[in-house]
Structure 1
Amino acid sequence: MIELLLLSRLQFAITAAFHFIFVPLTLGLALLVAVMETMYYRNKDETWRKMADFWGNIFKINFAIGLVSGITLTFQLGTNWGAYAEFMGDVFGPPLAMEALFAFFLEGTFLGAWIFLGHNRQKLKAFSMWMVALGTNISSLWIITANGFMQHPVGYEMVADGSKVVMTDFIALITNGYVWYMLIHTLLAAYLLTSFVIMGICAYHFLKGNNNEVFKKSFSIAVIIALATAVMLPVLGHGYAQYVAALQPTKGAAMDAIWETGSSVPMYLIQVPDSSTGSNSIQLLGIPGLASFLYTGSFSGTITGLNQLPQGELPPVEMIFWSFRLMTILGSLFIIVALLGLYLQKSGKLYTSKKYLKLLIWSIPLPYITITAGWIVAEVGRQPWMVYGLLKTANGVSSVPTSDVLLSISLISTFYMVLLIFEVYLIKKTVVNATGVE
């Protein structure tokens, strides 16, 4: 049973992580292309049209492959997590239905209109892209509404035999504080990722000596978005961390490997947790009270340590700790990179700063890594609960042969690798040929 549980979790982790490679760029490009289409409609500047065409081509590739990659996620609820689907169906169903009714309708209808309408009908073309952008962002809302319930269940009743939950308050479901922290954090991260992808692609062309106005203007927009979102994310994250620590104390304590209850808890700049001993094997350069401030809002605040929490409900501390550290370190790096880019652009040194331009190209994968690390903190940090406080992950898995799960993991992984290679090939071809920049 343990082997089946681990394999089922591994399969879902692979499919969810792979699908989310495409989601942030879809969210960010949809909004930016809508802005570009609108600017072309308003002032008829051909640069805006070329920008919309070029980044729109990348959006279409990413959207299509991302859509295909998400199909297996829904199937797994029935094949691998049948007990969870039965337990959560009454709560999980409405948000998914709302996503299909509103988000898919907007995306499916208006994406086709945007693709096939010419620029001679620019007003309708721009409107169609705004509807696509609205649809993609609404889709995020409904998915995160379902996930928010798993993190912090609200607006429900448990049936008498404890076999399932029944939704009693839809408004409570969508006004769940956890939902809105997650949604805003996710959207800001998506816009940050998109801005770094744009800056990296522009940097490639600058290194090739292609200082086309399309890339110069695209970089100008992207670097401002990058700086704004890179600053906003830790500010929001501070409140988010306090909220998480209050609702899920095990996750909060694991994020900084706080083992013992105390007040004025320091944050260590160098720290290595060891769950086998219930302590940190290394902890150096502590900043007094900083951990208390981050998780309680007060430098003298009290944090409950992992050793004082129910031992059967602790998540994998090392995985949470290192994922959280990776996310925060890379987040700090993004601020520095964006500030440097803004300075170089304003000083007129950007196009000749080869080291910085190469740094931007190599930085393209970093937001993807950061977002994945953030989701590891959010999802693995909830363990051993699938629905926090209500359903343990071990009780949500379907009774299927282990060999079947192994086979499906192999097939899905192979299929996803083919998709990823196809995505990289198409986007690389679009970028190198500067398709749309004529």
Structure 2
Amino acid sequence: MDMLSDVALLSRIQFALTVAYHFIFVPLSIGLGLILAIFATKYHRSRSEADGNAMRFWVRIFTATFAIGVATGITMEFSFGTNWADYSRFVGDIFGAPLAAEALFAFFLESVFLGVLLFGRNKVSSLFYTVSAWLVWAGSCLSALWILIANSWMQTPAGAELAADGSKAVITDFLAAAFNPSTLPRYTHVVVALLILGAFASLAVGAWYLLRGKHADFAMKTIRVGAVVGIVASCALIVTAHSS
């Protein structure tokens, strides 16, 4: 069992499993965030009980995916230091900045307004509640931007140079590093793909209820919303996939 004594291999396996699990739920939460915001808007306009129930359903689903994404994300970020300490020291001056910005500017935005969705339904106006739903989705998209800035910099580094002693990379131009050659193509491609994931997940939920003859009105509304988002995003994906 030489494999069990290979620290690098074990580190790769642990990190791969963490990232894979993280990347199931975070993309799902971003895709479903748009579905949630659309249903919140429908409820704000119609004030019908059916639309309100649909909105509350998607709030619960979104919260579950968000919570699991946060838990796996914390584990993943600690793994940068525990599994890849040398790499983290080498690129920490650059790699740490977008990760910190993601927490400060995106995660806090998303989590604060998710709190409004969970606990403020009867405490804030309908308009503020609807805007909160859109801000939660915007925060999740902004979070994806900062993470993809870090990932893209690893693929197409820019705005940095080696320290004089060659021990680490030092940032020289934050904007050049953030908007390196592959950031925007990578970001647009990923976000559009996540919207497709959310659309097809909502279609699956609607189809599941239809097949069982339950909540037919909710199922048809969900299928219609999922179909529209899925068609539009699939057309956009042709462009973003080609550009990346």
TM-score, with length taken from structure 2: 0.92
Conservation of the 8 A alpha-carbon contact between 1:29 and 1:56: no
The separation in 2 between residues aligned to 1:127 and 1:232, in whole angstroms, is 25
Cα distance in 2, alignment partners of residues 235 and 27 from structure 1: 20
Q: Could you tell me whether the CA contact under 8 Å between 2:32 and 2:62 is conserved in 1?
A: yes
**1:149 aligned to 144, 147, 153, which one?**
153
Question: What is the aligned partner in structure 1 of residue 111 from structure 2?
Answer: 108
The alignment-based identity, stated in percent, is: 41
User: CA separation in 2, counterparts of 1:127 and 1:229?
Assistant: 22
Deviation at residue 51 of structure 1 after TM alignment? 1.7
- What does residue 30 of structure 2 align with? 27
- Asked if the contact 1:118/1:125 (under 8 Å) is kept, the reply is yes
**Pairwise CA distance, 1:21:** 0.7
Aligned: 1:196 with 2:200 = yes
Alignment match, 1:135:
139
- 1-structure distance, mates of 2:240, 2:134: 26
Indicate the larger mover: 180-189 or 2-11: 2-11
The reply on whether 1:163 has 2:167 as its aligned counterpart is yes
Contact 1:185 1:236 in 2 (8 A): yes
Tell me if structure 1 keeps the 8 A contact 2:91–2:168. Answer: yes
1:177, 1:217 → 2: CA distance? 40
Residue 212 of structure 1 aligns with which residue? Answer: 216
Q: For residues 46-125 of structure 1, what are the structure 2 equivalents within 5 Å?
A: 46-119=49-122, 121-125=125-129
Give the conservation status (yes or no) of the 8 Å contact 2:59–2:117: no
CA contact (8 A) 1:37 1:122 kept: no
Q: How does 1:300-339 map to 2 (within 5 A)?
A: none
CA offset digits 1:10-69 (Å, max 9, x no partner): 221111111111011110122221222122212323332222111111111111122111
Superposed CA RMSD in Å reads 1.8
Q: Which runs of 5+ in 2 are unaligned?
A: none
Question: Can you give the 5+ residue segments of structure 1 that lack an aligned partner in the other structure?
Answer: 241-438
- For residues 117 and 83 of structure 2, the distance between their equivalents in structure 1, rounded to whole angstroms, comes to 38
Which residue of the partner structure matches residue 222 of structure 1? 226
- 1:156-198: CA deviation from partner (whole Å, max 9, x where unpaired): 1111222111111111122223111111111111111111111
Larger radius of gyration, structure 1 or 2? 1
Moved over 3 A (4+): none
Distance 2:235 2:77 in 1: 35
Structure (1 or 2) with the greater strand fraction: 1
Q: Distance in 1 between matches of 2:186 and 2:192?
A: 10
Give a deviation string over 1:378-403, Cα, whole Å, max 9, x none: xxxxxxxxxxxxxxxxxxxxxxxxxx
Q: Which amino acid aligns with 1:61?
A: A
> For residues 195 and 18 of structure 1, what CA distance do their matches in structure 2 show?
20
1:16 aligns with 2:19: yes
Aligned pairs for 1:29-44 within 5 A:
29-44=32-47
For 2:43 and 2:220, locate their aligned partners in 1 and report how far apart those are by CA, in whole Å: 16
- The residue aligned with 2:190 is 186
Quick check: 1:234 aligned with 2:238?
yes
> Matches of 1:50 and 1:211 in 2, distance apart?
11
How many equivalent pairs are there? 240
